[in-house]
Chains A and B, each alone.
Chain A
């Protein structure tokens, strides 16, 4: 066992754990966040995705001791009760069916859009290809990413306008 300090969604959490434990268990059982979920446990489905240093990371196969940098989970996307544009798009497009995988879909889409704010259809398909949904909501995910892209662009335009006024 060893003491590790993790920064999650802006807050520091010190945990006394077996350092090789996959990050997912520590986040869910010690830190107390529930956005990331156990899907396959093999890093193949994406349900456990968190964002670390701007990258989508599969927490079920990430040893906790290897984590350097702040962790953002689904809960950490919204700021002071305001949803992230990706989350807003997800609601407006009514994306989830059961919703269990959607943490991974949203977090992966968030990283995709941060790197490429105006992805083409092909880029969306490629960027989301490894994030699985058993309910087959892929078409709505695709539509929501397009919508989020527009929401982000609108917000950018509004803030530029606001800044000039």
Chain B
């Protein structure tokens, strides 16, 4: 267990489960440094600079060009996949496990998947655009295929038999000619590092040497296993982002202006000072929040706080009645020419009857069933944010910039939440929690 900050044991368990005595971060750090020492072998000077830069903060970016950043094989012949996506409730975590298990040749139920925690999973940008499987699934498949290739190579060396004379099934490699000669993935590399460099100009292009399997050879993909996250959501045992509790934690609530674009004039702090557990009012620019010891106290204080706002002379948004006129007359910030196939004008001219209609579609709010929320821990001069943000990496980088902290001192730990359908893409709540915590 790492000790540099106070994080809830269940998160620590989740992130470090099955990683043996060394933590995931130590595992990655050492792995990354080894690569640095190899690639910088001819450059005595820069090496020390690179390693000291890595040592500056506890949360450097996991290197996506290292196999160890994606897959860990454990001594008990199970595997953990570390992927840089989050599962907004569509079961993508289950799908990632299917895809990677298939390429690695390991039973689905012998694997786990850890997602979206910026210090232990590679930056795949988080989730959005419904492209997790079609885009981000590819590097996952390729790295799993590469791990299988490396394991076959290790078995080949161990048995003195060429790879093409080996068979692999459910994480056990056998010599085809003599099936009594067999070795498990766990026996070959369990708890140890692959130390295999990957290539690719960007994370989506990450690849090893191995090719992915042809579709006909996929056995787990195409099945419909039950989603692994559902039982804990049904029996009440899942720890959601909103369940994080830290020692000495306080609660804050935002106080929003009555209309968009209003300017903060003054705050009457004496209006809430008598509320039990009141800690302080925090304000910067037009941002106002109250902080109290207990949740219900913060809720009460946010309602009770007297704030003087100046409404904007021109409303920032149109009224609902004028919404569609406003939308039609608004100048687009960007526009794209429609893709035209054939000759629509000629087709319309030939039509027997032309039907014309206009449709107005109301705004569909990106609102989730629960309020935006996050918990920020500023212990030891670092910043850890527990959040259900779909894009934990965007939040992490944004918070670092916003608070002017080095990126490697900030991390976002992704946990489940009421999904936002876009609302939780580098969500404000994480920024606000971090700002207040600091």
Q: Which residues of A are interface residues toward B (Cβ below 8 A)?
A: 1, 18, 21-22, 25, 28-29, 33-35, 37-41, 45, 47, 73-75, 77-78, 83, 87, 90-91, 94-103, 106, 132-135
Q: Is the CB of B230 within 8 A of A96?
A: yes
Query: What are 12 A-B contacts defined by CB distance under 8 Å?
Result: A29-B294, A45-B369, A74-B236, A75-B236, A91-B234, A94-B227, A95-B230, A97-B89, A98-B416, A98-B417, A133-B369, A134-B419
Instruction: List 8 additional contacts besides A99-B230, A134-B367, A134-B421; criterion CB under 8 Å.
Output: A34-B239, A91-B231, A99-B234, A100-B368, A100-B417, A100-B418, A134-B369, A135-B419
B233 in the interface (beta carbon within 8 A): yes
Per a CB cutoff under 8 Å, which of B226, B234, B245, B369 touches A132?
Answer: B369
Q: Is the CB of B236 within 8 A of A99?
A: no
Specify the main secondary structure of chain A where it touches its partner: loop
Give the Cβ gap from A60 to chain B, nearest Cβ, in Å.
Answer: 10
Q: Which residues of A contact B418 (CB under 8 A)?
A: 37, 39, 98, 100-101, 134
Q: Number of contacts between A and B (CB, 8 Å)?
A: 104
* A21 to B296 alpha-carbon distance, docked (Å): 7
B334 in the interface (beta carbon within 8 A): no
Give the Cβ gap from B126 to chain A, nearest Cβ, in Å.
Answer: 15
Q: Is the CB of A100 within 8 A of B369?
A: yes
Give the Cβ gap from A67 to chain B, nearest Cβ, in Å.
Answer: 15
Give the Cβ gap from B366 to chain A, nearest Cβ, in Å.
Answer: 10
* A87 to B236 alpha-carbon distance, docked (Å): 10
* A132 to B368 alpha-carbon distance, docked (Å): 11
Q: Which residues of A contact B236 (CB under 8 A)?
A: 33-35, 73-75, 77, 103
Q: Which residues of B are interface residues toward A (Cβ below 8 A)?
A: 88-90, 226-227, 229-231, 233-240, 242-243, 245, 276, 294-296, 299, 367-371, 416-419, 421
Q: Is the CB of B419 within 8 A of A97?
A: yes
Q: Which residues of A contact B242 (CB under 8 A)?
A: 37-38
* A29 to B243 alpha-carbon distance, docked (Å): 9
Give the Cβ gap from B242 to chain A, nearest Cβ, in Å.
Answer: 7
- Kindly name the residue among A22, A73, A75, A134 whose own CB sees the greatest number of chain B CB atoms within 10 A: A134
Specify the main secondary structure of chain B where it touches its partner: loop
Report if A135-B296 is in contact (Cβ < 8 Å); known contacts: A75-B236, A96-B230, A100-B417: no
Q: Which residues of A contact B417 (CB under 8 A)?
A: 98, 100
Residue of B nearest to A22 (CB): B296
Q: Is the CB of A99 within 8 A of B233?
A: yes
Q: Is the CB of B89 within 8 A of A135?
A: yes
Q: Is the CB of A25 within 8 A of B294?
A: yes
Q: Which residues of B contact A98 (CB under 8 A)?
A: 88-89, 368, 416-419
10 shortest A-B CB distances, which residue pairs? Answer: A98-B89, A99-B233, A74-B236, A100-B418, A35-B236, A98-B419, A75-B236, A97-B89, A134-B369, A90-B234
Give the Cβ gap from B107 to chain A, nearest Cβ, in Å.
Answer: 20
Give the Cβ gap from A109 to chain B, nearest Cβ, in Å.
Answer: 11
Give the Cβ gap from B423 to chain A, nearest Cβ, in Å.
Answer: 10
Q: Is the CB of B243 within 8 A of A34?
A: yes
Per a CB cutoff under 8 Å, which of A41, A75, A94 touches B226?
Answer: A94
Residue of B nearest to A100 (CB): B418
* A22 to B417 alpha-carbon distance, docked (Å): 22
* A98 to B370 alpha-carbon distance, docked (Å): 11
Q: Which residues of B contact A99 (CB under 8 A)?
A: 89, 229-230, 233-234, 238, 416
Q: Which residues of B contact A33 (CB under 8 A)?
A: 236
Q: Is the CB of B369 within 8 A of A101?
A: yes
Q: Which residues of B contact A95 (CB under 8 A)?
A: 230, 234
* A1 to B276 alpha-carbon distance, docked (Å): 10
* A87 to B238 alpha-carbon distance, docked (Å): 14
* A101 to B367 alpha-carbon distance, docked (Å): 14
